[in-house]
């Protein structure tokens, strides 16, 4: 049987397959060109949105749209940005800008606010906009198929602001010449610096960017999120100070003492001492006190966050002996971030103590009132001190936004910090033993014994407040929120009488015309009034002790560290405005 001749069949199939492949390839090329246009339009929308967001400097929408002598109009800015960045495969059909309100969407993203109809709500001329929406549209002619493909992409940008502030500062105290804190810093940090040396170090400032530029540090991210050698940190600080005008010779010489601490603390985490992000624009430009940076880092590294005062004797000879301690839990706290952000939160320092007191040379108690007449002697008198000035929390206000002026008194940088109070427990307690003889009506020499518990307590906190900062002058002069801790001297004492013992027969009660309960009440009230009276234990012993406790210890320490009842000393540190950021 002859075989059929099939020669040429493969060529037919190949030709058909090639035709199909060419058509698919053409379709893929055209589709790829359209995808490139979409990508190009998104890139164009992003960069134009960032350029346009620089106009969002607090002006109203009408002013931004119209422009001024010094500022281009919105449309001119968009046109210039498109001209600089239009390098798409096809042609840019249109780029439009809409000033919008930026709100948080259902998924937490920042999006333009829309009208009930679904259209984007445009900001009216008399209102300050939050952001700018850019719609970029382009097209490309297909290489094989007839016609063209279009693409439209959008981007939303805002002009963000960021600021730094500090709650409390021993550096401010050192700079003003107050040396009360220096011995405590010396003891705590194992240093032996003089007042002058501390002032020289405190007067020296550096930015994080200067430190991060040192090869021993690596980067701002490494400095604030990782671990660095303490010797490297000190040496980088010294080298950066040497490069500044004048060379900071005195500060550099004083800083050599910190190098001796590197062996005891080889590795530190600077970020633990600073509540800031390594990408925060204000943080990187902020001038940090060298003393704040180096001493604060050591405080965190030792795990204590404390400066301890082992003996808190109030300094009243013959009035009382104290067995206890006082310590400051944290050093000055600095925070940087956008208003309302988590990174813009800082907490103040915290003073704590719980000590016992033995009161000396206690006065006798004279009672002359109504049925009662006589003198009671004060025997043993003991008590305690509780001081817990809890954390006040500061947060950069979400509104008003940070305003960056010219940095002068006439046009300062301005921003606000909301301060809320934490728990406060500040009290002085005493228990005194009383004994003696009283004349009760016609009864002579009735033996009386009792104990009196006395408490003087400061208020439990202050209401939330807002520190409206201006820089200058609040970069050197703080805004004080809350109240000074020296409140014990004005506190109204509470006196409670217990363990009252006296003996009066039923016949004597009948003679006095009183019941046992009414006589007990009369004696108790007389003891309370006498203990708290002008010649009693409160005024002769307890209040002088409280006065010296406040004015010779608690208030000086609290002032140095910016600690207030329910508040803080708030300093402005840095502000950076009009930083464009993409939101959607």
Q: Which residue has the higher pLDDT, 534 or 464?
A: 534
| Same-domain pairing of 106 and 246 | no
Residue 6 domain-assigned (yes or no): no
What's residue 175's pLDDT?
76
Residue 422 has pLDDT above 80, yes or no: no
Q: At 133, which helix (H) or strand (E)? A: strand 131-141
Residue 350's pLDDT is 79
In sequence order, what are the beta bridge partners of 366? 375
pLDDT one-digit tens code per residue, 98-126: 999 998 888 878 899 999 999 999 999 99
Are 533 and 390 in the same domain? Answer: yes
Say if 32 falls within a structural domain: yes
Residue 145: pLDDT band by 50, 70, 90 thresholds? low
210's tokens: 């200067």
Q: Assign 401 a pLDDT band (cuts: 50, 70, 90).
A: confident
Beta strands in 332-464 (DSSP E): 333-337, 345-347, 351-359, 365-369, 372-389, 393-396, 413-420, 424-440, 443-457
Considering 146, 181, 206, which residue would you say is the last residue of a domain?
146
Nearest to 576 by CA among 275, 167, 279: 279
Q: Are residues 171 and 134 part of one domain?
A: no
Q: Is the pLDDT of residue 18 over 70?
A: no
Q: Distance (Å, rounded) from C-alpha 138 to C-alpha 150?
A: 6
The β-bridge partners of 308 are 327
- Per-residue confidence (pLDDT) for residue 10, from 0 to 100: 60
Mean pLDDT of the chain, nearest integer:
84
Q: For position 310, what pLDDT does the model report?
A: 67
The 3-state secondary structure of 204-264 reads CEEEHHHHHCCCCCCCHHHHHHCCEEHHHHHHHHHHHHHHCCCCCHHHHHHHHHHHCCCCC
Percent of the chain's residues with pLDDT above 90: 36
Do 171 and 207 lie in one domain? The reply is: yes
In terms of pLDDT, which residue wins out, 306 or 131? 131
Most trustworthy range by pLDDT among 36-45, 148-157, 205-214, 299-308: 205-214
CA dihedral 161, 164, 167, 169 (to 10 degrees): -160
Q: Does residue 15 register a pLDDT over 70?
A: no
Residue 462 has pLDDT above 80, yes or no: no
Quick check: 418 and 470 in contact, CB under 8 A? no
Residue indicated by tokens 């010449």:
177
Tokens 């002359």 found at: 368
* 204 in the same domain as 133: no
Residues 452, 367 share a domain: yes
**Among candidate residues 84, 119, 146, the one where a domain is terminated:** 146
Q: Flag whether 156 is in a domain.
A: no
- Identify whether 472 is preceded by a cis peptide bond (ω within 30 of 0): yes
Q: Do 181 and 109 sit in the same domain of this protein?
A: no
200 SS3 class: helix
Residue 541 lies in a domain: yes
Task: Give the residue from 82, 116, 146 where a domain finishes.
Answer: 146
291 lies in the same domain as 410: yes
Q: Are residues 456 and 307 in the same domain?
A: yes
Residues 192 and 296 grouped into a single domain: yes
Residue with tokens 């199939």: 13
Q: Is residue 1 part of a domain?
A: no
pLDDT at 34 (0 to 100): 62
Q: Which residues of 492-503 are buried (b: 16+ CB within 10 A; e: fewer)?
A: ebebebeeeebe
Model pTM score = 0.71
Query: 155 in a domain, yes or no?
Result: no
Q: How many domains does the chain have?
A: 2
Task: Provide the pLDDT for residue 17.
Answer: 57
Same domain for 141 and 240: no
Residue 250 covered by a domain:
yes
What is the rounded CA–CA span in Å between residue 216 and residue 228? Answer: 8
Q: Decide if 5 is inside a domain.
A: no
State the residue range of the domain holding 498. 165-582
Least confident of 117-121, 191-195, 317-321, 418-422: 317-321
Model pLDDT for residues 357-400, shown as the tens digit of each residue: 898 888 999 999 889 999 999 988 999 988 887 778 899 997 77
Segment 291-299 mean pLDDT? 84
My answer on whether 463 and 560 are in the same domain is yes
Question: pLDDT digit string (tens) for 150-182?
Answer: 889 999 999 888 899 988 877 777 777 766 667
């Amino acid at each position: 049987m002859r075989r059929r001749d099939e020669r040429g069949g493969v060529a037919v199939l190949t030709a058909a397959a090639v035709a199909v492949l060419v058509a698919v390839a053409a379709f893929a090329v055209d589709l790829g060109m359209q995808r490139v246009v979409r990508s190009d339009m998104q890139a164009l929308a992003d960069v134009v949105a960032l350029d346009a967001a620089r106009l969002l400097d607090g002006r109203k929408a009408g002013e931004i749209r119209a422009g001024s002598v010094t500022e281009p109009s919105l449309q001119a800015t968009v046109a210039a940005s498109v001209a600089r960045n239009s390098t798409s495969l096809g042609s840019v059909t249109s780029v439009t800008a809409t000033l919008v309100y930026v709100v948080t969407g259902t998924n937490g993203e920042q999006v333009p606010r829309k009208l009930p109809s679904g259209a984007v709500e445009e900001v009216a001329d008399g209102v300050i906009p939050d952001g700018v929406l850019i719609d970029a549209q382009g097209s490309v002619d297909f290489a094989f198929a007839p016609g063209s493909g279009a693409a439209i992409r959008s981007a939303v940008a805002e002009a963000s602001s960021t600021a730094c502030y500090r709650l409390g500062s021993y550096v401010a105290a050192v700079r003003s010449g107050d040396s009360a804190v220096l011995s405590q810093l010396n003891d705590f940090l194992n240093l032996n610096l003089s007042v002058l040396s501390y002032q020289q170090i405190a007067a020296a400032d550096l930015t994080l960017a200067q430190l991060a530029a040192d090869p021993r540090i690596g980067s701002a991210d490494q400095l604030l999120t990782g671990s660095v050698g303490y010797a490297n940190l000190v040496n980088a600080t010294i080298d950066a100070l040497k490069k500044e005008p004048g060379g900071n010779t005195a500060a550099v010489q004083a800083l050599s003492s910190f190098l001796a601490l590197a062996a005891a603390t080889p590795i530190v985490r600077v970020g633990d001492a600073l509540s800031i992000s390594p990408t925060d624009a204000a943080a990187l430009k902020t001038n940090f006190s060298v003393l704040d940076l180096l001493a604060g880092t050591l405080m965190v590294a030792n795990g204590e966050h404390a400066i301890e005062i082992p003996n808190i004797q109030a300094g009243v000879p013959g009035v009382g002996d104290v067995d206890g301690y006082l310590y400051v839990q944290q050093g000055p706290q600095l925070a940087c971030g956008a208003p309302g952000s988590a990174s813009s939160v800082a907490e103040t320092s915290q003073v704590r103590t719980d000590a016992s007191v033995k009161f000396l040379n206690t006065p006798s108690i004279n009672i002359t009132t109504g049925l009662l007449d006589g003198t009671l002697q004060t025997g043993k008198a003991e008590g305690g001190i509780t001081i817990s000035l809890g954390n006040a929390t500061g947060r950069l206000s979400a509104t008003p936004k940070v305003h960056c002026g010219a940095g002068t008194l006439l046009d300062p940088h301005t921003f606000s910090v909301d301060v809320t109070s934490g728990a406060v427990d500040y009290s002085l307690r005493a228990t005194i033993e009383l004994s003696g003889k009283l004349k009760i009506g016609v009864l002579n020499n009735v033996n009386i014994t009792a104990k009196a518990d006395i408490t003087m307590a400061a208020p439990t906190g202050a209401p939330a407040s807002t520190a409206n900062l201006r820089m200058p002058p609040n970069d050197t002069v703080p805004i004080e929120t809350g109240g000074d801790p020296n409140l014990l001297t004005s506190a109204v004492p509470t006196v409670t009488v217990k363990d009252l013992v006296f003996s009066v027969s039923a016949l004597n009660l009948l003679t006095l015309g009183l019941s046992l309960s009414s006589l007990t009440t009369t004696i108790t009230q007389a003891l309370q009034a006498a203990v708290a009276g002008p010649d009693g234990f409160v005024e002769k012993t307890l209040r002088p002790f409280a006065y010296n406790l406040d004015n010779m210890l608690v208030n000086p320490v609290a002032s140095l560290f910016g600690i207030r009842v329910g508040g803080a000393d708030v300093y402005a540190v840095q502000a950076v405005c009009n930083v464009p950021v993409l939101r959607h």
